[in-house]
Copies of this chain bind each other. A is one copy, B any other.
Amino acid sequence: MRQIENMFSKSCEYGLKAVIYIASQSLEGKRIKIDDIAEKAGSPRAFTAKILGTLTKFNIINSLKGPYGGFDIEIKRMKEIKISEIVFAIDGDSIYNGCALGLTECNAQEPCPMHENFVQIREELKKMLETTTIFELATKFNSGESILVRKDRIAS
């Protein structure tokens, strides 16, 4: 059965990791190709490519076809964009109305038994997503403070 750990869908995980890596390279002035992204983020290439297509449509990243092409993101932009926008582009806005117990919608007037407990955490999650920028994450990655793939996976 499914794991609660999966706060994000795989699509979202891959999208976030890819954007973090693209941004980290853009910080160093490099445009980066999908093959490199897939490798460095430890994500399936074709699937990641599809997700990057979506993110390009949402103007979260830039893409350029052809030789010397690839993906990048302006430093100004990575400071503006919150990770909530990436989650929104990939998984939609359901975080704003989803119900812990799967009721058709969240409604405080007629709440499910878990409402009070749940809403509190959902608000904190929203706040986190809406205040964390790509720049922040990319900087952390670039400085070596954090990683995108565990060694045991790189090895394979």
Residues of A within 8 A of B (CB): 1-14, 16-17, 20, 83, 87, 90-92, 94-95, 97-105, 107, 110-115, 117-118, 120-122, 124-125, 128, 132, 137-138, 140-141, 145-150, 152-153
8 tightest Cβ-Cβ pairs between the two chains A and B: A5-B98, A2-B9, A3-B94, A5-B94, A13-B102, A113-B137, A113-B146, A4-B95
- Complex: A74 Cα to B97 Cα, angstroms: 34
Cross-chain contact of A95 among B5, B8, B91, B124 (Cβ < 8 A):
B5
Number of copies: 2
Select one of B8, B112, B141, B145 contacting A146, CB under 8 A.
B112
Contacts of A8 in B (CB 8 A): 4, 100-102
Shortest A95–chain B CB gap in Å is 5
Q: Could you show 27 A-B contacts with beta carbons less than 8 Å apart? A: A1-B9, A2-B9, A2-B11, A3-B98, A4-B12, A5-B94, A5-B95, A5-B97, A6-B98, A8-B100, A8-B101, A8-B102, A10-B102, A16-B101, A103-B149, A103-B150, A103-B153, A104-B153, A107-B150, A110-B150, A112-B147, A113-B137, A113-B138, A117-B128, A117-B132, A121-B125, A121-B128
